[in-house]
Structure 1
């Protein structure tokens, strides 16, 4: 009986896996045969390419990535990164390489797999130091990479921990996927709203920009002191934030 029950359990597990993979294959085939979805995918690829080519070129020629002041939190990081020598150049070549692979249909998946960890690191860095220069674009680029991996599910599915049947092939479809593009707009607005409202105080790129937040602050003097510490004194971001938040409790 135990053997029979075990075999029955395995049967249901295999059946469940086949059901999931079959549904995913069918969904993937339905999506990829739509011409509007193909247009959007091409746009996504080119947008990611445009995001890395200039950034990578600047690093390869050895120039500093931005003109942020060294006292600014992101400026601290970029200045240190600029002085790492060939590591700085290596990142540039990696960005260029990933971007070029995205231009070639046969190497899109490889390019995305290289692109994703780089942009994910930039995304986390932007959130950590509250850098508004890539606070919106970096999360969207991470989502774009995940989208491309889903688009090429017929290739990436072999990385998943379950068996996959042959891909389903459907006839080309020219119907405009309004619900998909509505979801794209919703995601864009949701990410934009979240990253612009998640922090009540930002270091901004310059002292003047930082102080524009102080008029709406509950403690304008503490806000201006925060900006002064960040941009003129080069103090640690977390320490300055803790000092500012402590002043609000008084």
Structure 2
């Protein structure tokens, strides 16, 4: 069976299940709610967080805030994507606009180990990917294994199947737990939002003094994350 036919059949079966439709609506609303406040803040020209400029994410956001019309432009795109997601006929375009923005936020959050979006951003990326897969019938012709139909496609039947997809939602729950474990515990040190929060990591550190120096390096000296991490690793475990 050609891969295009197999994907069409899988997509059709998913679209006819009411539980998947509920999950799609939930993702659209959740993603829209994630971008509306931040987009509005940028349009109003206000700084997005109260992080110190010494913090890696705070330094980035401060620079972004001073980029002139580029800062509110991002807010306009965020709010446009969010509103489009809430309009059924525009939801596909909304998901397409949303994806590069949230992917950038995810990569940035991991790069600077920012607690504020370290967990939420990858989940939002996955939710966005789900919405793009939901609209596979509209986007499939960008793939090389699909050809334009000779006749117009038949309209999709309304969601009718009520069988609860246990394996799918179990996979969703397992994925959320796995991402939480990897991102929340997978880093030896994180800058955290403030010095006092950063210092809470030092009690269980292999070298508490080096950990304290790391926090000072970030929040007081304003050095780069890579530089402060390199200093911490060079210190090595403490000798008792």
Does TM, scored on the shorter chain, surpass 0.5?
Answer: yes
Q: Which residues of 2 match residues 45-56 of structure 1 at below 5 A?
A: 45-56=28-39
- CA RMSD in angstroms comes to 1.5
Measured after TM superposition, the shift of residue 198 of structure 1 is 2.0
Structure ID, larger Rg: 1
Q: Which residues of 2 match residues 153-232 of structure 1 at below 5 A?
A: 153-164=136-147, 166=153, 172-232=160-220
Q: 2:234 aligns with which of 239, 246, 249?
A: 246
Gaps of 5+ in 2: none
Deviations 1:89-136 (A, max 9, x none): 100001000101111111111111110000000000001111010001
For normalisation by structure 2, the TM-score amounts to 0.93
Gaps of 5+ in 1: 1-15
Residue pair 2:207, 2:237 contacting (<8 A) in 1 also = no
Deviations 1:36-73 (A, max 9, x none): 11101100000000000000000000110000011111
Residue pair 1:26, 1:168 contacting (<8 A) in 2 also = no
Q: 2:67 aligns with which of 84, 88, 93?
A: 84
Q: 1:141 aligns with which of 87, 100, 124?
A: 124
Measured after TM superposition, the shift of residue 229 of structure 1 is 1.3
Measured after TM superposition, the shift of residue 167 of structure 1 is 6.4
Instruction: Sort the Cα spacing of 1:64 and 1:169 in 2 relative to 1 into closer, same or farther, 3 A.
Output: closer
Measured after TM superposition, the shift of residue 31 of structure 1 is 0.7
Q: 2:25 aligns with which of 28, 42, 65?
A: 42
Measured after TM superposition, the shift of residue 249 of structure 1 is 6.0
Residue pair 1:65, 1:78 contacting (<8 A) in 2 also = yes
Residue pair 2:47, 2:62 contacting (<8 A) in 1 also = yes
1:102 aligns with 2:85: yes
1:75 aligns with 2:58: yes
Residue pair 1:126, 1:135 contacting (<8 A) in 2 also = yes
Residue pair 2:3, 2:145 contacting (<8 A) in 1 also = no
Runs (4+) of structure 1 exceeding 4 A deviation are: 164-171
Greater fraction helix: 1
Name the SS for the 1:133 alignment partner.
helix
Residue pair 1:44, 1:144 contacting (<8 A) in 2 also = yes
Measured after TM superposition, the shift of residue 163 of structure 1 is 2.4
Q: What is the CA–CA distance in structure 1 between the aligned matches of 2:155 and 2:168, rounded to whole Å?
A: 21
Instruction: Sort the Cα spacing of 1:167 and 1:130 in 2 relative to 1 into closer, same or farther, 3 A.
Output: farther
For normalisation by structure 1, the TM-score amounts to 0.90
Q: What is the CA–CA distance in structure 1 between the aligned matches of 2:205 and 2:73, rounded to whole Å?
A: 42
